[in-house]
Structure 1
Amino acid sequence: MEIRQVGVIGAGQMGGGIAQVCAQAGLAVRLCDIDPAQQARAMAQMRRSLDKLAAGQAGLEPDAVLARVATVSGPEALAGCELVVEAASEQLALKLRLLGEAAAAVGPDAIIASNTSSISLTRLAAAVPSPQRVIGMHFMNPVPLMPLVEIIRAEQTDDATHRAIEALTTRLGKTPVTVGDAPGFVSNRVLMPMINEAAFCVHDGVADPAAVDAVMTLGMRHPLGPLALADLIGLDTCVAILDVLYSEFRDSKYRVCPLLARYVAAGRLGRKSGRGFYDYTDRS
């Protein structure tokens, strides 16, 4: 299957990034979100990202890339897309509804992908007609800069769908790594317990956030400390993923740190809200 038009559902941080890299690869993109303000924020963020990239990348034309992105508000506007990538928040019921609407709009031959970071692809595929065309494309944040796409095969995913998505991922300039359909896959099954334990270090008074992150960056050579990374991902997203891991495994190592839960309840979600473990209100 030749993929020429891609629909992206959700114009948040991840959806906007996915739309950008698809447009950079020459694909026509329809970025779907019911909130016009969110659409505008996504397009503005793409402009900032592309302008930064163009400063160090000869031949990249931000205007030409942005011209390939159209914002739309309803799933019916995705008709004609050969691929739809769902990038909504990590809620099973929401994802099931959006994937069903997308499948109805594009017909039986289009590939349906989810950017879920923890939810079972097999469960998502079961709710879609022709489930063999459902697959996971877990992009890393920030999407334009991170080279990995974690590809997750549902039990129903057929070889043709897998080959098409591997080829597309390479076309996007990313490295595809295929993993099995297990809670959290590989990335978040490893990452989230580390973030959670870093939060416990703060919660238990062992160290403040800057000290925890300094130990991991200076001592373990991580490019970004776990708490700064949690702020980048979004603390609400971290909690949602940990909840999925705990629900599926029933292992106490996935229990959410009370401090994480308290920050989310207070609206301290990280960079996107201006404050998480760190304060971003005075940063550009």
Structure 2
Amino acid sequence: MKNIAVIGAGTMGNGIAHTFAQFGYKTHLIDISEKSLEKGMKTIENNLDRMVSKEKITEENKKTTLSNITTFTKLSEGVKGTDLVVEAATENVELKLSIFEQLDEFCAADTILASNTSSISITKIAAVVSNPERVIGMHFMNPVPVMKLVEIIRGYNTSDEITRSIMDLSKKLNKVPVEVNDYPGFVANRILMPMINESIETLYNGVAGVQEIDTVMKLGMAHPMGPLQLADFIGLDVCLSILEVMYSGFKNPKYAPCPLLVNMVQAGKLGAKSGEGFYDYSENRKAEIVSKQFSAK
């Protein structure tokens, strides 16, 4: 595989494009919004600048990486001639199904189709494609250029050949691929999201405050980041979507989203990307705890 297409220029999409391009792959970054593409490319450039300043790459490496990326606003043009397409659009099942229906039309029959979904069934996504054996999950972790793990999710029909190919490709990106089966939340989010949800419940019930909960988990459980701060960086809307997928898939109340999480998302408090979640990310109050009463009491 030499030519890669990445759909979506948001946090995950631009990180995936950055990673492929840095390792020498000709990468097409696709988004319907020119503004999103510009923002995504600026993010990639800023991240590369940080890597140069830390002497992890050279200025020449940075230029080569950027030159490996071409942007497109039309899906049909962006996927033309590619060996692998990685969909990294919003975690919305109807949107993903629509994209894969179009990929089935626009891509060659042997193009591998991957989704970066963090919870949605690969089998369900593959069902809208004429040859579902070529559909697989590649769940990268954020920030993609830094995090080593890639969850490789096999759908019911995903072939052994495609799985081996994507496992090998992930290793060429200096990642550690882990093969998992197709069940709601896979492994990472099946374990992580209930912990985050329970942390929000603990806050909602007035057991402890934001800083106290995060400190307990950092110092007591050796987590590098507390669960509430992690939720902010993942995006509270993304956390809610994953929990809803898991609740729907398992029909188990332990996956039911906390009412506080639902309310915060409805109020537009999505975490770092919106400027406020459990912490305040505005320019003058970087990562301070939001000064409001989260308790249900």
Pair in the same fold by TM > 0.5: yes
- Counterpart amino acid of residue 70 in structure 1: T
- SS of the residue aligned with 2:139? strand
- RMSD of Structure 2 on Structure 1 (CA): 1.1
Give 2:187's aligned amino acid.
V
**TM-score when normalising by structure 2:** 0.93
The residue aligned with 1:247 is 248
Alignment of 1:51-200 (within 5 A): 51-54=49-52, 55-59=54-58, 61-77=61-77, 78-200=79-201
C-alpha distance in 2 between matches for 1:58 and 1:270: 30
- Alignment-derived partner of residue 20 in structure 1: 18
- Give 1:37 shift: 1.1
Distance 2:51 2:102 in 1: 34
Aligned equivalents of 2:160 and 2:58: distance in 1?
35
Following superposition, the deviation at residue 58 of structure 1 comes to 4.2
Distance 1:85 1:104 in 2: 16
1:102 & 1:31 partners in 2: Cα distance? 15
Contact 1:82–1:106 under 8 Å retained in 2:
no
Task: Note the C-alpha offset of 1:270.
Answer: 0.6
Task: Report what 1:213 is aligned to.
Answer: 214
- Residue aligning to 2:5: 7
2: CA distance between counterparts of 1:148 and 1:179?
12
Contact in 1 for aligned 2:3/2:81 (Cα 8 Å): yes
Contact 2:86/2:114, CA 8 A, preserved across alignment = yes
How many residue pairs end up in the alignment? Answer: 282
TM-score under structure 1 length normalisation: 0.97
The one-letter code of the counterpart of 2:182 is D
Once residues 230 and 56 of structure 1 are traced to their aligned partners in structure 2, the CA distance between those partners, rounded to angstroms, is 30
Give 1:19's aligned amino acid.
A
Which amino acid in the other structure matches residue 187 of structure 1? A
Q: How far is the alpha carbon of 1:59 from its aligned partner? A: 4.1
Report what 2:269 is aligned to: 268
Q: Which amino acid aligns with 1:191?
A: L
Instruction: Give the corresponding residue for 1:202.
Output: 203
Code of the residue aligned with 1:241 in structure 2: it is I
Give the whole-Å Cα distance in 2 for the aligned partners of 1:11 and 1:136: 18
Q: Deviations over 1:53-110 (max 9, x none)?
A: 1223144621110111111011111110000000011111100111121232121100
CA displacement at 1:47 relative to structure 2: 0.7
Paired AA for residue 152 in structure 2: I
Give 1:129 deviation, angstroms: 1.4
Partner of 1:29: 27
Gaps (5+ residues) in structure 1? Answer: none
SS class of match (1:56): coil
Gaps of 5+ in 2: 288-297
